[in-house]
Every structure is written in C-alpha cells, then in structure tokens.
C-alpha cells in the first residue's frame, strides 16, 4: 500500500498508526499544512508554570480504543480528580450542582417544582416519529421547556459550542435516539440499563451524566500527538499543504502547494471539512458543496491564572455552563486546576473560559481588551472573582467545532454515495460522526480497517 494522509491532527496521526500496526510495511506519507502536528491539540506550558490547552482539553476514559492507542504507543493516561464529576449550571443568579442521582434531582433548586414534575413525567413519553429533530424539539418533547433551557441547551454549548435549536439530535447524540426508539422513555431506558448493569456485576452503572472520567497526560494533550508524530517520524511532511487531488486509472495524484505532484493508490483526507472541500473540489464538486455547508463558528478560549488565596471560596468540581436564557457573554468555565492539579503551580488556580460559538460568534472576535472585560464581568457575577488574574492567555479559533445541524445525516449519506465512485479514498475527522477526541480515534481505526484487505491480517493488530 502506498498511502497519502492529508492532515496530521489526531485523526490523521491515529489513522497512520492504525494502518502501520496492521501492515508495518505500508508506504505512508502524511502531509501537514502547518509547521507542527496536532491540529486542534496543542499544549502550552507557560513560564509561570501554568499548563494551558489551546484546543482539546481532555477525553473521557470510557472509550476502549483511545486507551488502547495510549497503551500501544507507551503513554500512561492521567485521570482527573474525582471532584471533576461535580458540574454546575448557572441559572437565575446562582450556581446549581447538576444532580448525579435521583434523590439529588428531587432536592435540586435548578428546576422549579413544576419543572421537576414535568421531567418525572418523561416516563410516559413515547418514541418520536423518526424525523430528524433538533435538540430543542427533542428536549422539550421529553423533558419540558424548563429542563430543555437549563439542561439541554447548556449541554449543546458545552460539547459543540452550538445552538440547540439547530443541532440534530440524530447526529449529535445518536445514543439518545437509540434509547428512545428502544424504550420510548429516557428514564425507562436508564432504569433498565442500570438493572442490567447490576445483574452483570458491573461496578459502574449508567447515569444521567456522561460516563467515564476526564483523562489527559502529565504534560498535557500534546503528549499524545507528539508521541504519535515521533512514531511516524520522517513519514510526516510539515508545512506541506495539499491543494488538490485527482483520480485516473485507479491511482490518485496529490498536488502539494509547493512541490511536485505525487501518485498514491490510497488517500485519506483528515483535515477540517472546509479544507477538504477545497482539496476535492475538482475531483467531486458534489462532495465539496456538501462539505462547505458544514458550519464552524468561532470560539475563543481565555485561560486565567489566580492566586488561590485571592479567590474567596472559589468553586469545587469541574466548572459550570451558562444557558443561553441567562444572556451572559461566556459559554462556561472549567476550573482546570481542580480537574488536573498540575495545570497550575501550587497555591494557584487556572480557569479556562469559552466565548463565542454558534450562540454569539461576534463575541469571539472581540479585541483582547474588550473580550477580557466581558469575561471578567461574568466571572465576577457568577463566581465572585473580584481580583485581577496574575496570568492571562487567549487562544482564538476562527473556525472551531463543526456543527451537526438538522440534515447532517442526509448530507453524510450523499457524501458516502458519491465516495463510492472513488475506491480507497477516505474522508475522516470530526466533521462527520463525532467531534470528540475519542470519536476521532475510533473513526481513524475504522478508516484503517476499511483500507486493508481482510486477507492481510487486517482484523488483528501487530504487536
């Protein structure tokens, strides 16, 4: 196999590693437009001793494939603190802990009594009509408007930096759709799954919150992409953007921006959808049109360091999300140093605040001084942080997280249908079927398997 992989983010790196694990003699070349590997994964360790993540902050350890990848490359994951399971929502002037168990839900002040009773009534909800609903439509139908506004809406911001009134449930949270189809009610599904887990003797039983523990590495998420890059070595070409690809006679020709065209029998394109669209435009205008229709709103990450003694009571746990109904400028804040203690020097606190997204893209584009003014104002009102930070770092993503809007599944079907014309051409990355690092690693594995003939041992990994 002579394969080209365009993009050395986590998707491209993990795809290359998965191919080589099965076919060590594969001839692979990775083309990366930037001067570094990693894509949205980049860690900065500041002179002050703060460890800041430019993009991907962590992953949940519920995905076996990501943990297998870490083991294969000799990397030991760092699990977050147990307190990270505590998550908050800011609502009506106060921070409310998200309930983790039914008794906590009944006692929580996050929802009114009417709102809590409406959620309990979800058990009588039946399955939908199978249409591609928005998160808003699904949430209101199952849980009521108040629970939608205070739970589902901020969740959409936390995961996608998205607008729940436009995001597709089918594409964003397919597991919820499956549970509804199987059980009619999410509560009935949860009860049934918990019973089955207990009968099977499992230690962890399904709950309303995302499963798994937040996980990173001792020196940040870049350790994973850096060690993969070291494993791939000279196969990676940095500062080598690809402009186009053509297909003729069963072979693909890649056209780098600087350099000679080169032929390959296999091509994997693992860059963002808008960049994929440019590369495949001449090959398939139909695919390019569909890819260009996937929006990427801007998000700005603001990292702030404080002396713990100046912060008052602070906030325990993971952090908080802000529902859009609160009309705040920030989407939420993670107390990074609570999750991983080594992300701030001793006696210090590191906050990581997100601004912008589909809800308020213009705010992500504010100049630094105005942006910080907005962030400081919200943190003062929400967390009571009245002192100036001793450390500030701002990371801007002009095009951040792809949005799976209603119709996304149909878009992917059209792309897959058109791709059938081009054997051994794979489009992958977080624009398709999952935006998390876990999703990217799992889809990279699937891509590798799809490219290797079954009679060459594609079903078994090499030691």
Q: Is the pLDDT of residue 368 over 50?
A: yes
How many C-beta atoms lie closer than 10 Å to residue 157's C-beta?
Answer: 23
User: How far apart (Å, rounded) are the C-alpha atoms in residues 423 and 111?
Assistant: 52
Q: Same CATH fold, 101-199 and 2-41+221-295+403-456?
A: no
Residue 457 pLDDT exceeds 50: no
Q: In the predicted model, what is the mean pLDDT of residues 325-342?
A: 95
What would the pLDDT profile of 307-322 be if each residue is shown by its tens digit? 998 887 778 889 999 9
Q: Which residue has the higher pLDDT, 33 or 315?
A: 33
Residue 238 to residue 30: CA distance in whole angstroms: 8
Stretch 326-333: mean pLDDT, rounded?
Answer: 96
Calpha distance 341→296 (Å, rounded): 32
CATH (residue range 2-41+221-295+403-456): 3.50.50.60
Q: How far apart are CA 400 and CA 196, in angstroms?
A: 39
Lowest mean pLDDT among 4-18, 184-198, 299-313: 184-198
At 107 the pLDDT is 82
* Coil, strand or helix at 180: helix
The per-residue pLDDT for range 250-274, each reduced to its tens digit, is 999 999 998 799 999 999 999 999 9
pLDDT in tens, 146-173: 999 999 999 999 999 999 999 999 999 9
Q: What is the pLDDT of residues 66-104, one digit of tens each?
A: 999 999 999 999 999 988 889 999 999 999 998 877 677
Q: What is the structure's pLDDT at 32?
A: 98
* Residue 197 pLDDT level (bands cut at 50, 70, 90): confident
Cα–Cα–Cα angle for 453, 456, 460, nearest 5°?
Answer: 100
- Report long-range pairs for 138-147 (Cβ below 8 Å, ≥24 apart): 138/169, 138/176, 138/180, 139/164, 142/180, 142/185, 142/186, 143/118, 143/119, 144/115, 144/118, 144/119, 146/111, 146/112, 146/114, 146/115, 146/118, 147/111, 147/115, 147/118, 147/119
pLDDT at 201: 72
CB 400 within 8 A of CB 39: no
Which residue matches tokens 């990074």? 336
Lookup result for tokens 């009594």: 113
Report which secondary-structure segment, H or E, holds 90: strand 87-91
Taking the CA of residue 66 as centre, how many other CA atoms within 13 Å lie in the half-sphere pointing to its CB? 24
Classified as helix, coil or strand, 243 is: strand
pLDDT for the residue 463: 27
pLDDT mean over 322-342: 96
Mean pLDDT of all residues in 381-399: 94
The model's pTM: 0.92
| Predicted confidence (pLDDT) per residue in 200-233, tens digit | 776 555 555 556 899 999 999 999 999 999 999 9
Query: For the CA atoms of 32, 413, 59, 147, what is the dihedral angle to 10 degrees?
Result: 140
Short-list 225, 206, 224, CA closest to 215: 224
Q: CA Rg, the chain, in Å?
A: 23
The alpha-helical segments, DSSP class H, found in 8-151 are 10-22, 64-72, 102-107, 113-120, 135-143, 145-147
Q: What angle do CA 186, 192, 198 make, to 5 degrees?
A: 135
Cα separation, 427 vs 425, in Å, equals 7
Task: Report yes or no: 65 and 439 within 8 Å, Cβ to Cβ.
Answer: no
Pick the CATH number of 101-199 from 3.20.20.70, 3.30.43.10, 3.30.70.3040, 1.10.3110.10: 1.10.3110.10
With helix as H, strand as E and coil as C, how does 217-233 read? CCCCCHHHHHHHHHHHH
- pLDDT (0 to 100) of residue 313: 73
Q: Which CATH number does the domain 78-82+297-397 belong to among 2.115.10.20, 3.40.50.1820, 3.90.660.20, 3.90.1150.10?
A: 3.90.660.20
The domain ranges of the chain are 2-41+221-295+403-456, 78-82+297-397, 101-199
Task: Decide if 71 contacts 449 (C-beta within 8 A).
Answer: no
Token pair for 90: 């800011």
Q: What share of the chain is helix, strand, coil (3-state, %, to 5)?
A: 40, 20, 40
Q: Any idea which of 114-118, 202-206, 296-300 has the lowest mean pLDDT?
A: 202-206
Map residue 365 onto helix, strand or coil: coil
User: What is the share, in percent, of the chain residues with pLDDT greater than 70?
Assistant: 95
pLDDT at 301 > cutoff 70: yes
**Does pLDDT of 454 surpass 50?**
yes
d(Cα 66, Cα 89) in Å, to the nearest integer?
Answer: 29
User: pLDDT band for position 460 (50/70/90)?
Assistant: very low
Please, what sign has the CA dihedral across residues 448, 449, 450, 454? positive
Among candidates 321, 312, 332, which has minimal Cα distance to 375?
332
Average pLDDT over residues 347-368: 96
Least confident of 212-216, 300-304, 333-337: 212-216
How many residues make up the chain in this entry?
Answer: 463
Q: Mean pLDDT over all residues of the chain?
A: 92
| φ/ψ of residue 21, rounded to 5 | -65, -25
């Amino acid at each position: 196999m002579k394969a080209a992989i365009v993009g050395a983010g986590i998707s491209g790196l993990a795809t290359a590693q998965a191919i080589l694990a099965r076919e060590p003699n594969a001839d692979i070349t990775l083309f990366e437009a930037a001067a570094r590997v990693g894509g949205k994964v980049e860690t900065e360790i500041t002179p002050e001793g703060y460890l800041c993540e430019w993009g991907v902050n962590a992953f949940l350890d519920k995905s076996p494939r990501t943990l297998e990848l870490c083991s294969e490359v000799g990397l030991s994951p760092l699990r977050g603190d147990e307190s990270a399971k505590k998550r908050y929502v800011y609502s009506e002037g106060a921070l409310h802990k998200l309930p983790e168990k039914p008794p906590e839900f009944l006692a929580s002040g996050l929802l009114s009594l009417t709102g809590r009773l409406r959620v309990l009534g979800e058990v009588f909800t039946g399955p939908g009509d199978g249409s591609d609903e928005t998160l808003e439509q699904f949430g209101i139908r199952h849980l009521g408007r108040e629970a939608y506004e205070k739970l589902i809406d901020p969740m959409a911001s936390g995961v996608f930096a998205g607008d729940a009134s436009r995001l597709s449930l089918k594409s964003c949270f397919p597991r919820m759709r499956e549970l509804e189809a199987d059980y009619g009610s999410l509560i009935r599904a949860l009860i049934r799954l918990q019973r089955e887990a207990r009968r099977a003797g499992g230690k962890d039983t399904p709950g309303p919150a995302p499963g798994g523990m937040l996980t990173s590495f001792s020196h940040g998420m870049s350790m994973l992409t850096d060690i993969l890059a070291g494993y791939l070595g000279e196969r990676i070409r940095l500062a080598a953007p690809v402009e186009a690809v053509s297909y003729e006679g069963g072979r693909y020709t890649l056209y780098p921006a600087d350099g000679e065209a080169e032929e390959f029998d296999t091509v994997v394109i693992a860059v963002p959808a808008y960049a994929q669209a440019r590369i495949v435009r001449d090959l398939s205008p139909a695919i390019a049109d569909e890819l260009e229709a996937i929006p990427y709103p801007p998000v700005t990450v603001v990292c702030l360091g404080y002396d713990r003694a100046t912060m008052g009571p602070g906030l325990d746990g993971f952090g908080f999300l802000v529902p859009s109904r609160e009309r705040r400028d920030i989407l939420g804040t993670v107390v990074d140093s609570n999750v991983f203690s080594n992300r701030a020097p001793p006696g210090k606190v590191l906050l990581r605040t997100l601004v912008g997204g589909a809800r308020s893209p213009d705010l992500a584009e504010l100049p630094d001084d105005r942006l910080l003014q907005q962030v400081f104002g919200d943190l003062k009102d929400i967390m009571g942080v009245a002192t100036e930070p001793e450390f500030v770092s701002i990371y801007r993503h002009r095009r951040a997280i792809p949005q799976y809007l209603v119709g996304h599944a149909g878009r992917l079907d059209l792309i897959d249908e058109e791709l059938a014309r081009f054997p051994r051409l794979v489009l992958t990355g977080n624009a398709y079927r999952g935006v998390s690092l876990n999703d990217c690693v799992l889809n990279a594995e699937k891509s590798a398997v799809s490219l290797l003939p079954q009679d060459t041992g594609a079903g078994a990994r090499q030691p």
